[in-house]
């Protein structure tokens, strides 16, 4: 059971004292800087060995380097892969390939630490310690753990036992100068916004040294029915690792796809991630041996990353983000509700004042949606709010003729007010404006 943010049962939980001073985030970023490609501070693509499953883990470094990936996450797949000898072999192969291991992903089934079976817990802890040694040997600053299965903590004291286990494991990682991260996996303890919010609140008390963080996975958020933007916000600046995979929600079984092969709003998601995280984004969608798909996904993602990292201080001079461009296309097609859905992702993701323009456009669109449905009051309120927001960005912003949009939307608003609630059906929908790029001629809808 997840307690509320004020539950006193979560207070005073602290990891045991580490033998070493816990590392700061900046120290983690520069850890093992003598290793190949250890430069940090920029958002970039990396690759999880899990994406190439069932390719043997020891073959991954060479394959990754051949396709231009230098930052790796190694996903352990068997108890035998926890052997230090295997770790040393992977370390050498990474060096030979010019790769750096950013994170080590524990094999979930080996670490069921909260079941009633004591031997499973003891053996899981022993393998967990091996995983920490593995990460230290490879110079990987991050250890990824799914945490507890939901059914393992479905008891009155389950949440508290989970927090205690995380505190103890976090301290063990800190003793080796590694950071423990928990992933938002759909069938584990931290699947929903409520669960992550409660855990984040607990961390503020139990982990003041910030040696415990998150691995954010938007695919897992979508599978759990959680808003990925809200979930990312609940994680805050404790995000230390990111997984990338996609899904098509209307197609059962179309999961763990590569970014761009599914429905997730990647332009907005990457923008939201960039606001709080700098480091490698690990592609985890499964390609197996079809490496051409991996190249296609990279070609899909990297232009977005380049656009995000090259943002100008004056956001009005930037190019339109893909999500906003698609939203404008839907607006001009009269699909106002769909326009709202698409632009809202970019509004969630953006942290600069330009987000007010995005909100204004979607509010104007929803205002017209209400007008077409005969809801004069809803149309009037939304159009007023949207016009006010877009008016902050006159005459042109992001290549949009905002002054033209405001003047035409205001004419529609004036006419709707004149007609009143009882005569809204007489309003001429052909007067709805199109959102025009600067310097183009308007055309009839």
Domains of the chain: 8-309 (3.20.20.150), 317-431 (1.10.3450.10)
What is the rounded distance in angstroms from the CA atom of residue 381 to the CA atom of residue 334?
A: 19
What is the rounded distance in angstroms from the CA atom of residue 189 to the CA atom of residue 168?
A: 17
The whole model's pTM is what? 0.81
What is the rounded distance in angstroms from the CA atom of residue 397 to the CA atom of residue 366?
A: 21
Q: What is the pLDDT of residue 436?
A: 82
* Token pair in block for residue 63: 């394959």
Task: Report which secondary-structure segment, H or E, holds 47.
Answer: strand 44-48
- What sign does the dihedral 384-386-389-394 (CA atoms) show? negative
Q: What is the pLDDT of residue 250?
A: 87
Q: What is the pLDDT of residue 23?
A: 39
pLDDT in tens, the chain (445 residues): 555 444 433 333 333 333 333 334 344 344 444 333 333 458 999 999 999 999 999 999 999 999 999 999 999 999 999 999 999 999 999 999 999 999 999 999 999 999 899 999 999 999 999 999 999 999 999 999 999 999 999 999 999 999 999 999 999 999 999 999 999 999 999 999 999 999 999 999 999 999 999 999 999 999 999 999 999 999 999 999 999 999 998 898 889 999 999 999 999 999 999 999 999 999 999 998 899 999 999 999 999 999 888 877 778 888 888 889 999 999 999 999 999 999 999 998 888 899 999 999 999 999 999 999 999 999 999 999 999 999 999 999 999 999 999 999 999 999 999 999 999 999 999 999 999 875 444 443 4
What is the rounded distance in angstroms from the CA atom of residue 316 to the CA atom of residue 298?
A: 28
Strand 142-145 vs strand 179-183: parallel, antiparallel, or unpaired?
Answer: parallel
SS3 3: coil
- What sign does the dihedral 315-320-323-327 (CA atoms) show? positive
Query: Do the beta carbons of residue 17 and residue 208 sit within 8 Å?
Result: no
State the Cα torsion 175-148-159-12 to the nearest 10°: 10
Looking up tokens 């005969």, which residue turns up? 374
Could you give the residue ranges of the DSSP H alpha helices within 207-354? Answer: 218-223, 228-235, 266-274, 291-309, 322-332, 336-349
């Amino acid at each position: 059971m997840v307690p509320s943010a004020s539950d006193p049962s979560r207070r005073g939980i602290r990891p045991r004292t580490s033998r070493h001073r816990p590392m700061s985030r900046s120290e983690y970023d520069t850890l093992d800087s003598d290793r190949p490609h250890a430069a940090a501070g920029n958002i970039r693509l990396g690759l999880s060995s899990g994406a190439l499953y069932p390719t043997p883990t020891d073959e991954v470094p060479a394959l990754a380097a051949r396709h231009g990936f230098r930052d790796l996450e190694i996903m352990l797949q068997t108890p035998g892969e926890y052997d230090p000898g295997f770790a040393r072999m992977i370390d050498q192969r990474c060096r030979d390939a010019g790769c750096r291991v950013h994170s080590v992903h524990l094999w979930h089934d080996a670490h069921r630490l909260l079941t009633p079976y004591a031997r499973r817990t003891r053996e899981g802890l022993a393998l967990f310690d091996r995983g920490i040694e593995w990460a230290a040997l490879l110079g990987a600053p991050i250890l990824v753990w799914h945490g507890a299965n939901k059914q393992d903590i479905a008891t009155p004291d389950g949440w508290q036992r989970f927090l205690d286990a995380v505190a103890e494991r976090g301290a063990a990682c800190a003793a080796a100068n590694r950071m423990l991260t928990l992933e938002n996996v759909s069938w584990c303890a931290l699947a929903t916004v409520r669960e992550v919010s409660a855990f984040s609140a607990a961390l503020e008390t139990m982990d003041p040294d910030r040696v415990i963080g998150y691995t954010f996975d938007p695919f897992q958020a979508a599978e759990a029915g959680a808003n990925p933007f809200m979930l990312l916000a609940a994680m805050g600046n404790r995000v230390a690792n990111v997984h990338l995979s996609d899904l098509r929600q209307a197609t059962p079984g179309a999961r763990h796809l590569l970014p761009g092969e599914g429905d997730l709003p990647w332009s907005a998601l990457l923008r939201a991630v960039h606001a709080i995280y700098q480091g490698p984004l690990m592609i985890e969608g499964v390609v197996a041996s079809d490496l051409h798909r991996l190249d296609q996904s990279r070609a899909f993602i990297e232009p977005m990353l380049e656009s995000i990292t090259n943002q100008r201080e004056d956001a009005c001079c930037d190019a339109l983000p893909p999500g906003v461009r698609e939203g404008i296309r839907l607006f001009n097609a009269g699909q106002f509700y769909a326009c709202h859905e698409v632009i809202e992702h970019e509004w969630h993701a953006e942290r600069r004042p330009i987000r007010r323009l995005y909100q204004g456009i979607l509010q104007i669109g929803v205002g017209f949606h209400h007008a077409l449905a005969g809801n004069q009051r809803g149309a009037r309120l939304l159009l007023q709010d949207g016009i006010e927001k877009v008016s902050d960005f006159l005459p042109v912003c992001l290549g949009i003729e905002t002054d033209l949009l405001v003047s035409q939307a205001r004419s529609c608003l004036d006419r709707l007010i004149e007609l009143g609630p009882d005569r809204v059906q007489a309003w001429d929908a052909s007067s709805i404006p199109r959102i025009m790029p600067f310097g183009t001629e308007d055309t009839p809808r």
